[in-house]
Amino acid sequence: MITVHHLNNSRSQRILWLLEELGVPYEIQHYERDAKSMLAPDSLKKIHPLGKSPVITDGDLVIAESGAIIEYLAHTYGKDTMLPKSGGQAWLDYTYWLHYAEGSLMPPLLMRLVFEKVKTSPMPFFVKPVARGIANKTNEVFIGPMIKTHLDFIESHLAKNTWFLGDNLSAADIQMSFPLEASVARGITGKNRPSIVTWVKRVHARPAYQNALEKGGEYDFA
């Protein structure tokens, strides 16, 4: 039996979605973030030394990292449904989007979140204007333009494709869901990228996604 070690409001929600799409039986071990730090509890380190989520166990196997988990589940349980045939352009596209989600798209989104947190974090009153100025300038000249480039790139792709590999849902869509859901929920996507918004709505409308959301519990990007 597969166990998903699931942290609320985290990337592990997309692992539940994938398992629902595959129709594979699984159980959930729930973990809650610390209310102040928003970090995962130390109990996750009993499963994997880094103490991060998602982590799954499948028999004696312990698998961490979203991309690795999705690769394992798709290859083991969903070759005919969630993966393209190897060797062609579709396979290359699948591999690209699988790595792009965490390797290229998430870093600037995470940096933006960190600098936004800096502006509201407790600090001496005389430091606040300086901290806010640095955060605003960094977002304006570095992080913001980087995110715009990425979102424009994705918008252009989804304007021509229903899913990331074309007409059919694949494991690439599962991996891309977290950063794009976060972008839409936080208002980063903006009003001029309707294809991204439509894609997120299409994801949310899938019965498997809704089942995963019901089982996973709290899931709030905003």
What's 37's domain CATH number?
A: 3.40.30.10
Q: Rounded mean pLDDT of the chain?
A: 90
Q: Answer whether 11's CB lies under 8 Å from 35's CB.
A: no
Q: What is the pLDDT of residue 123?
A: 66
Secondary structure E strands in 33-112: 55-58, 61-64
pLDDT computed for residue 142 by the predictor:
81
Tell me the C-alpha to C-alpha distance, in Å, between residue 189 and each of 112, 178, 184: 13, 13, 5
Question: 7-11, 26-30, 107-111, 124-128 — which is least confidently predicted?
Answer: 124-128
* Band of residue 52 on the pLDDT scale cut at 50, 70, 90: confident
If phi > 0 it is left, if psi is from -120 to 50 it is alpha, else beta; for residue 73 that is: alpha
36 pLDDT more than 90? no
The pLDDT score that the predictor gives to residue 125 is: 64
- Based on the fold, state whether residues 104 and 169 are members of the same structural domain: yes
Whether residue 221 lies inside any domain: the answer is: no
The span from the CA of 51 to the CA of 53, in Å, is: 7
Let me know whether 126 and 74 are in one domain: no
Q: Is residue 222 part of a domain?
A: no
- Residue 167, domain CATH: 1.20.1050.10
57-104 confidence digits (pLDDT tens): 999 999 999 999 999 999 999 888 999 998 999 999 999 999 999 999
Alpha-carbon torsion angle 152, 157, 161, 165, nearest 10: -130
Pair 183, 196: CB distance under 8 Å: yes
Q: How far apart are CA 54 and CA 70, in angstroms?
A: 10
Same domain, 97 and 199: yes
pLDDT digits 0-9 by tens, 119-165: 777 767 666 776 677 767 777 778 999 999 999 999 999 999 999 99
Same domain, 59 and 107: no
Return the pLDDT at 127: 62
Residue 208 pLDDT > 80, yes or no?
yes
* Cβ atoms of 11 and 55 closer than 8 Å: no
Residues 123 and 201 grouped into a single domain: yes
Same domain, 133 and 197: yes
For the chain, the domain total comes to 2
- Residues 97 and 57 reside in one and the same domain: no
CB 67 within 8 A of CB 54: no
Residue 170 burial class via C-beta count within 10 angstroms: exposed 0-12, middle 13-18, buried 19 and up: buried
Same domain, 111 and 66: no
Q: Rounded to two decimals, what is the model's pTM?
A: 0.90
Confidence (pLDDT) at 126 = 63
Instruction: State whether 189 and 130 are in the same domain.
Output: yes
* Co-location of 79 and 96 in the same domain: no
* CA 1 to chain CA mean position, Å: 24
Could you give phi then psi for residue 5, rounded to 5 degrees? -90, 100
- Residue range of the domain that includes 173: 89-206
Q: Is residue 9 part of a domain?
A: yes
For the ranges 6-15, 43-52, 133-142, 204-213, the lowest mean pLDDT is seen at 133-142
When pLDDT is cut at 50, 70 and 90, the band that residue 41 belongs to is confident
Q: Specify whether 200 is located in the same domain as 114.
A: yes
